[in-house]
């Protein structure tokens, strides 16, 4: 028997309750449609003008500190994490060998100056000898001419005339030899003074090299930064070119962001960039700009480039490195970044007037240091002093000699 037959006559039957599931489905569809519309509007109005990637890492200069001479380490002034300024002493090496080489070079320069002074004296001596030989030739020629006139009148024998001719020939030969010796001596010092003589300059170069090696026993910091990767140990015998430590200037870091090749269509040099670092989260946003777009994908410059000429080739979207530099150094001072940290980079594509590649070559060095320019500051004065002392030693001895 159905419920309708059991209900009393004239009673109103209540309708069945409506299902809420259909209402929720309708609401969900409406929300999805509104979200799709909102995303579409956002994309065409603003979203399509940005490209971002989290395949981006902090990079920077790692200035290697290496010795230029072989020596033993006597002291280490800085350790990992220490702040150093340009010109600070990092490592001191044993300078015993350098001091000995310096003394030897100084003595060699003094000896060379004295030897060159002897060359100038040889020129004066040869010139005087030429004058003596010329007088002898004039005397022998006059004697020969006088005897020749006497021989014509029969006053002297032909044998005596022959002896006079032999004497003239011998005097002329001696004169020719003296002139040759004078020319040889003069060539060695022609158009020079003691300080500009080639032998003196060669000895001065050796002294300058010895002064430079002595200065290289003190290893200085070439830039401001923080010490990292210290491997040098006290008492270690280091060789030229060996890495002792590194100095990292954290105020000169940049970001290497690896974008997909499909994201580079509207990227240009100079476009503004927002950078967030995982270490500080999204609350800290660094202002930056695109410095350069890579000239090749990362795989193109790998040690073993990919070989796609195979039968099982699969297309893989490549990534191209984009260098991003910071525009506000104060942000790096307040929130410093370390090398290798992960970041997220968002590029604004609104301004597309910049170039794809650099249009002109650099006009000045990107990175430079003048720390090593002062190592030969006193070398010229030292060389001039040694030359002066040994070039004027003869005059000094004359002044001190008793009258």
Structure confidence at residue 6 as a pLDDT band (50, 70, 90): low
Are 73 and 234 within 8 A, CB to CB?
A: yes
Q: Which residues pair with 258 in a beta bridge?
A: 321
8-22, 95-109, 295-309, 356-370 — most confident range: 95-109
168 pLDDT above the threshold of 90: no
Structure confidence at residue 11 as a pLDDT band (50, 70, 90): low
pTM over 0.85: no
Are 97 and 74 within 8 A, CB to CB?
A: no
193-202, 254-263, 372-381 — most confident range: 254-263
b or e along 145-162 (b: 16 or more beta carbons within 10 Å of the residue's beta carbon)? eebeeebeeeebeeeebe
- pLDDT tens by residue, 105-141: 999 999 999 888 888 787 777 778 778 888 888 887 8
- pLDDT tens by residue, 315-344: 888 899 999 999 998 999 999 999 999 999
Task: Return the C-alpha torsion angle 64, 70, 75, 79, nearest 10.
Answer: 20
Between 305 and 11, where is the model more confident?
Answer: 305
State the Cα–Cα distance between residues 403 and 382, nearest whole angstrom: 33
Token pair listed for 41? 């509007």
Q: Is 95 helix (H, G, I), strand (E, B) or coil?
A: coil
Q: Which residue has the tokens 């240009």?
A: 268
pLDDT of residue 258: 94
What would the mean pLDDT of 142-169 be, rounded to a whole number?
Answer: 75
pLDDT of residue 19: 63
Structure confidence at residue 235 as a pLDDT band (50, 70, 90): very high
Return the biggest CA–CA distance within the chain. 197
Whether 97-215+375-397 and 251-302+314-372 share one fold: the answer is no
Find the range with the poorest average confidence among 29-38, 150-159, 228-237, 346-355.
150-159
Helix (H) or strand (E) holding 203: helix 198-215
What would the mean pLDDT of 245-268 be, rounded to a whole number?
Answer: 93
pLDDT of residue 117: 85
Token pair listed for 146? 């006088």
CATH topology (fold) of 97-215+375-397: Helix Hairpins (1.10.287)
pLDDT of residue 38: 80
248 pLDDT above the threshold of 90: yes
Q: Is 50 helix (H, G, I), strand (E, B) or coil?
A: strand
Helix (H) or strand (E) holding 57: strand 50-59
State the Cα–Cα distance between residues 303 and 53, nearest whole angstrom: 25
What is the CATH code for 251-302+314-372? 2.40.30.170
Token pair listed for 383? 């060389």
Find the range with the poorest average confidence among 38-52, 161-175, 238-252.
38-52
- Reference 323, options 267, 378, 249; nearest CA is 267
- Domain boundaries defined on the chain: 97-215+375-397, 251-302+314-372
Under 8 Å CB-to-CB from 76, ≥6 apart: which residues?
90, 91, 230, 232, 233, 234
Percent of the chain with pLDDT over 90: 44
Under 8 Å CB-to-CB from 324, ≥6 apart: which residues?
56, 254, 255, 256, 257, 273, 275, 288, 289, 290, 291, 345
b or e along 170-182 (b: 16 or more beta carbons within 10 Å of the residue's beta carbon)? ebbebbeebbebb
């Amino acid at each position: 028997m159905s419920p309708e037959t059991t209900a009393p006559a004239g009673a109103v039957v209540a309708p069945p309750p409506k299902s809420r599931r259909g209402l929720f489905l309708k609401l969900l569809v409406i929300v999805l449609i509104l979200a799709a519309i909102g995303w579409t509007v956002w994309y065409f109005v603003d979203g399509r003008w940005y490209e971002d990637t989290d395949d981006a890492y902090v990079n920077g200069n790692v200035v290697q500190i290496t010795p230029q001479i072989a020596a033993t380490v006597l002291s280490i002034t800085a350790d990992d994490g220490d702040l150093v300024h340009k010109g600070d002493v990092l490592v001191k090496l044993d300078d015993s060998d350098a001091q000995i080489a310096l003394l030897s070079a100084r003595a060699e320069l003094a000896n060379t100056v004295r030897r060159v002074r002897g060359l100038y004296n040889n020129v004066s001596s040869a010139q005087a000898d030429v004058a003596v030989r010329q007088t002898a030739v004039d005397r022998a020629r006059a004697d020969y001419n006088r005897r020749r006139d006497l021989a014509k009148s029969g006053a002297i024998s032909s044998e005596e005339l022959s002896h006079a001719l032999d004497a003239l020939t011998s005097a002329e030969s001696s004169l020719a030899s003296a002139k040759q010796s004078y020319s040889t001596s003069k060539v060695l010092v022609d158009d020079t003074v003691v300080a500009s003589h080639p032998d003196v300059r060669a000895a001065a170069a050796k002294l300058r090299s010895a002064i430079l090696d002595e200065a290289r026993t003190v290893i200085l910091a070439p830039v401001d930064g923080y010490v990292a990767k210290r491997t040098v140990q006290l008492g270690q015998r280091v060789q030229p070119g060996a890495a002792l430590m590194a100095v990292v200037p954290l105020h000169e870091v940049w970001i290497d962001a690896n974008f997909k090749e499909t994201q580079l269509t509207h990227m240009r040099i100079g476009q503004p960039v927002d950078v967030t670092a995982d270490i500080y989260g999204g609350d800290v946003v660094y202002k930056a700009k695109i410095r350069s777009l890579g000239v090749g994908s990362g795989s193109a410059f790998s040690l073993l480039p990919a070989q796609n000429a195979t039968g099982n080739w699969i297309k893989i979207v490549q990534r191209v490195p984009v260098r991003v530099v910071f525009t506000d150094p104060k942000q790096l001072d307040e929130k410093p970044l370390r090398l290798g940290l992960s970041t997220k980079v968002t590029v604004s594509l609104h301004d597309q007037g910049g170039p794809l590649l650099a249009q002109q070559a650099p006009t000045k060095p990107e990175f430079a240091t003048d720390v090593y320019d002062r190592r030969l500051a006193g070398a010229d004065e030292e060389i001039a002093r040694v030359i002066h002392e040994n070039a004027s030693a003869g005059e000094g001895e004359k002044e001190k000699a008793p009258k």
